[in-house]
Amino acid sequence: MGIKAALPAVVMAAMVFLGGCAASPEGLNSRDDADSRTFSENYEEIFRRLSETGKRCYPPGQDVVNPTHGQIESEGELHRDRGFAEFRLVAGSYGIRMNYFVAARIEKSGSGSRVTIKVSNPMGAGPLSSRIYRWAGGDSSC
């Protein structure tokens, strides 16, 4: 089989592989698949943990490269007036040039909070999702 004959198969495989991926953090909002966990602390404390650990592990403006994911940056916003916060890890991989987004919504839930995570590509962003839950639980290791 020549290269010209194999090219359509490679393109089709890439489309199937990438079909479930979101192209941006905003695209995650339209996805139905999400994972959720509850914590006893309020949402502001969980957001503080995520923000501080994210900034320490992935300093803004620096090219911190993780061999598994490529360059990773953290970002987030606290919306006190609306009772929730958002936190994201954005990984730009090298080689295949694909980005992975992990978005966490932290909101009031009874006397504690609920963290709901959506990922753009479960194969690439799964470890980042686990990291967010560790950080939310108080583990500050990178």
Give me Rg for the CA atoms of the chain. 17
pLDDT value, residue 13: 34
Q: What is the CATH number of the domain that holds 18?
A: 3.30.530
Nearest one of 36, 35, 34, 40 to 138, comparing CA atoms: 40
Place of tokens 């839950």: 133
Place of tokens 């959506």: 118
Highest mean pLDDT among 9-13, 44-48, 54-58, 120-124: 44-48
Q: Tell me, yes or no, if the pTM score tops 0.85.
A: no
Q: Which amino acid is at 48?
A: R
Print the domain residue range for 91: 3-136
pLDDT in tens, 78-112: 999 999 999 998 877 655 555 667 899 999 999 99
Can you say whether the dihedral through the CA atoms of 86, 125, 46, 108 is positive or negative?
Answer: positive
Q: Taking residues 103-130, what's their average pLDDT? A: 86
- How many independent structural domains does the chain possess? 1
Confidence of residue 138 (pLDDT cuts 50, 70, 90): very high
